[in-house]
Amino acid sequence: MWQVYVKELMELMRDKKTLIFVILLPILIFPVLFGVMALVLTSTTSKAMQQEHRYVIVNAEQAPQFAEALFYHKNFRKVDSGLTEPEQLIAAIRAGDFDVALVIPEDFQARQAAVEQSEWQLIYNQSSQLDFMYQYFSELMRRYTEDLQMTSLSQLGVDPDRLQAILTPVELRRVDTADTRENIGEKIGAFIAYILIPICLMGASYPAIDMGAGEKERGTLETLLICPVTRTAIVLGKFFTVLTTGLATTLITVVSFGIWTAVVSSFTGFDVITNVMASISVTDLLLIFLMLLPISAIFASLLLAISIYAKTFKEAQNYMSPLSFVVLMPLVAAILPGVNLTTTTAMIPLTNVALAIKELIKGTVDYGMLMMIFASTVVIAGALVAFCVHWFQQEKVLFR
At 258-296, the pLDDT tens digits run 666 666 556 545 555 555 555 667 787 788 888 888 998
Q: What is the CATH number of domain 54-167?
A: 3.40.190.10
State the pLDDT at residue 55: 92
- C-alpha to C-alpha distance for 320 and 209, rounded to whole angstroms: 9
- What mean pLDDT is predicted for residues 35-50? 72
State the pLDDT at residue 226: 74
Contact status, residue 334 vs residue 186, Cβ threshold 8 Å: no
Tell whether the model's pLDDT for residue 90 goes beyond 60.
Answer: yes
State the pLDDT at residue 165: 76
CATH 3.40.190.10 location in the chain:
54-167
- What mean pLDDT is predicted for residues 379-392? 88
Greater confidence (265 vs 353) lies with: 353
State the pLDDT at residue 268: 47
Of 58-72, 77-91, 167-181, 339-353, which range is least confident?
167-181
State the pLDDT at residue 277: 59
Question: What is the pTM (predicted TM-score) of this model?
Answer: 0.65
State the pLDDT at residue 57: 93
State the pLDDT at residue 91: 92
State the pLDDT at residue 264: 59
pLDDT tens, position by position, 173-229 = 877 666 666 776 676 777 778 888 888 888 788 888 888 887 788 777 777 777 777
Greater confidence (186 vs 92) lies with: 92
State the pLDDT at residue 170: 82
Task: Return the top range by mean pLDDT from 15-29, 215-229, 322-336.
Answer: 322-336
State the pLDDT at residue 168: 74
The band of 398, judged by pLDDT with boundaries at 50, 70 and 90, is: low
State the pLDDT at residue 278: 59
Above pLDDT 90, what percent of the chain? 11
The band of 327, judged by pLDDT with boundaries at 50, 70 and 90, is: confident
